């Protein structure tokens, strides 16, 4: 058994005085005594620490102090938004647009937490009485501006599909996407378009909204569908325009521009990340600029990694219930395409060191464990998957007949392609992808 893998775990500590600059949380390696209890339980140990640290300090970058050097692309304030986008911002933060009256987009996609979840729960609770559990972990909304619409035909190989929002690409743009959480009974649960339109009409920004979007007074706006469609456009404008959602001001970007330098460990980590014979991460999370634009560390393609089943997702209590990803998408191109089951869209790795949960099912709660998974999924499968009759149930979050879909290219291998030092260096590199770097900022422990 590979319990040793849990014997160093990361504790989160906000290590930058808030007044001094941007939000960089430094991870410290701490020894962990005691047995992890086997199976996947080691992955959850960081939860309490993460939650406590989250509560203790909001990582919101403070207003830039005059003495600080300017970042390459300073995050714009909301003052820079167009009228449409700033209405979108109000909608994004408006809890009245929910069945419970208590949930806004920002509840799950919290700007203070890199537009991701504010806690380390695998899935969040929503619905009319805030008691329904979600089915997937909440992704960050940063760096989605280049995802693009879903592309591919009914004969495209699963790994060659591109784009689309959501882990299975089922929404083609941010406006279409907004309708999903609004009417999802596990999320904002607005019931019907009529219900949502009624709430929009009653919102404090209704008059402004009607003027900007409909060139009319609120009373003149005819049908419910128009209110809802225009509100979804407002959310799209906000997410595309708001530079705080895509600031490209991580240490990585400063280094690319020749304005900062990686430490030796960070540079070696990048080399591991790029090397097809070691990390091979860049095959799916490219680190090179595209069309002169900084990389987002995702091809926005799809892959099946076989992430272990997460027993903390209430829906998984039903042993027959599976989240099959791409093949469950309602798109006609994917009808009957069981070869695409288990594929999920490749996420951006920007701000990945700041996430409280990893992968579509939130199975891991530390970046170190996520990296261990790449290193040891096949080399030490018994650590990650349960056993039945002494047989390790590889890729147990897929029905047995579909487990062959799982990717077995590098870095997955029965013999780990990276060693302990390289794992630590990979971690150092991934820390350089956190937004809001300022020169002279702290380096993660062991990364100097």
Judged by CB under 6 A, does residue 89 bind ligand HEC?
A: no
| Nearest Cα to Cα of residue 418 among 378, 374, 377 | 374
Spatial distance between the Cα atoms of 426 and 417, rounded to a whole number of angstroms? 13
Query: Taking contact as CB under 6 A, which single stretch among the options 50-58, 149-157, 332-340, 363-371 is the one that binds ligand HEC?
Result: 363-371
Strands 132-133 and 302-303, how do they pair? unpaired
Minimum Å gap between C-beta 125 and ligand HEC is 7
> Which residues lie below 8 Å from residue 399, measured CB to CB, with a gap of 6+?
322
Q: Which of 81, 103, 200, 369 binds ligand HEC (CB under 6 A)?
A: 103
| Nearest Cα to Cα of residue 239 among 144, 331, 319 | 144
Minimum Å gap between C-beta 358 and ligand HEC is 4
| For ligand HEC, the closer CB: 221 or 313 | 313
Judged by CB under 6 A, does residue 178 bind ligand HEC?
A: yes
79-113: string of b/e by CB count within 10 Å (b at 16+)? eebeebbbbbbbbbebeebbbbeebbbbbbbbbeb
- HEC secondary structure over 321-360: CCCCEHHHCCCHHHCCCHHHCCEEECCCCCCHHHCCCECC
Spatial distance between the Cα atoms of 33 and 232, rounded to a whole number of angstroms? 50
How far separated are the first and last CA of the chain, in Å rounded? 33
Binding string to ligand HEC for residues 266 to 285, with x set by CB under 6 A, is what?
-------------xxx-xxx
Stretch 296-335 residues interacting with ligand HEC (CB under 6 A): 303, 305, 307
Binding string to ligand HEC for residues 229 to 268, with x set by CB under 6 A, is what?
------x---------------------------------
**DSSP single-letter state for residue 28:** E
Q: Which of 43, 188, 250, 260 binds ligand HEC (CB under 6 A)?
A: 188
| Binding residues for ligand HEC, total number by CB under 6 A | 49
Judged by CB under 6 A, does residue 59 bind ligand HEC?
A: no
Q: How many other CB atoms are found less than 10 A from the CB of residue 159?
A: 18
Q: Which of 173, 187, 242, 435 binds ligand HEC (CB under 6 A)?
A: 187
In the numeric block, which tokens belong to residue 129? 């009485």
| For ligand HEC, the closer CB: 2 or 62 | 2
Q: How many other CB atoms are found less than 10 A from the CB of residue 15?
A: 16
Judged by CB under 6 A, does residue 398 bind ligand HEC?
A: no
Minimum Å gap between C-beta 273 and ligand HEC is 6
Contacts with ligand HEC, residue ranges (CB under 6 A): 103, 105, 107-109, 124, 126, 134, 136, 138-139, 141, 144, 165-167, 174, 177-178, 181-182, 187-188, 235, 279-281, 283-285, 303, 305, 307, 344, 346-347, 349, 352, 355, 358-360, 367, 370-371, 374, 407, 411, 426
């Amino acid at each position: 058994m590979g319990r040793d893998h849990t014997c160093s775990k990361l504790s989160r500590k906000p290590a930058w005085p808030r007044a001094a600059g941007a939000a960089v949380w430094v991870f410290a390696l701490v020894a962990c005594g005691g047995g992890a209890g086997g199976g996947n339980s080691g992955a959850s140990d960081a939860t309490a620490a993460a939650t406590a640290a989250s509560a203790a300090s909001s990582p919101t970058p403070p207003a830039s102090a005059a003495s600080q050097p300017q970042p390459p692309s300073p995050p714009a304030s909301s003052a820079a938004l167009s009228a449409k986008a700033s209405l979108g911002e109000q909608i994004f933060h408006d809890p009245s647009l929910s069945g419970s009256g208590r949930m806004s987009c920002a509840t799950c996609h919290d700007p203070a937490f890199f537009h991701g979840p504010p806690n380390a729960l695998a899935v969040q609770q929503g619905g009319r009485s805030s008691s329904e559990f979600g089915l997937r972990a909440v992704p960050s909304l940063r760096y989605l501006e280049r995802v693009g619409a879903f592309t591919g035909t009914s004969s495209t190989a699963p790994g060659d599909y591109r784009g689309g929002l959501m882990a299975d690409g089922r929404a083609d743009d941010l406006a279409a996407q907004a309708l999903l959480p609004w009417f999802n009974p596990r999320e904002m649960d607005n019931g019907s378009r009529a219900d949502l339109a009624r709430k929009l009409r009653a919102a404090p920004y209704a008059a402004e909204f009607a003027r900007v979007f409909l060139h009319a007074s609120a009373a003149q706006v005819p049908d419910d569908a128009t209110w809802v469609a225009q509100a979804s456009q407002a959310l799209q404008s906000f997410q595309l325009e708001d530079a705080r959602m895509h600031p490209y001001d991580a240490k990585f970007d400063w280094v690319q521009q020749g304005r900062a330098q990686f430490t030796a460990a960070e540079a070696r980590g990048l080399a591991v990340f790029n090397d097809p014979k070691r990390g091979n991460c860049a095959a799916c999370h490219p680190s090179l600029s595209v069309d002169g634009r900084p990389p987002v560390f995702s091809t926005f393609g799809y892959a099946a990694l076989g992430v272990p089943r997460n027993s903390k997702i209430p829906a998984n209590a039903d042993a027959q219930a599976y989240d099959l990803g791409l093949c469950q998408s309602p798109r006609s191109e994917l009808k009957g395409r069981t070869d695409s089951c288990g594929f999920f869209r490749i996420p951006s790795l920007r701000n990945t060191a700041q996430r409280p949960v990893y992968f579509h099912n939130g199975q891991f709660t530390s970046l170190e464990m996520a990296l261990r998974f790449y290193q040891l999924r096949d080399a030490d499968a018994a650590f990650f998957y349960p056993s039945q009759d002494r047989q390790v149930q590889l890729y147990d979050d897929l029905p047995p007949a579909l487990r062959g879909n799982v990717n077995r290219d590098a870095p997955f291998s029965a013999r780990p392609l990276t060693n302990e030092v390289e794992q630590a260096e990979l971690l150092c590199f991934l820390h350089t992808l956190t937004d809001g770097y300022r020169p002279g900022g702290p380096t993660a422990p062991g990364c100097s």
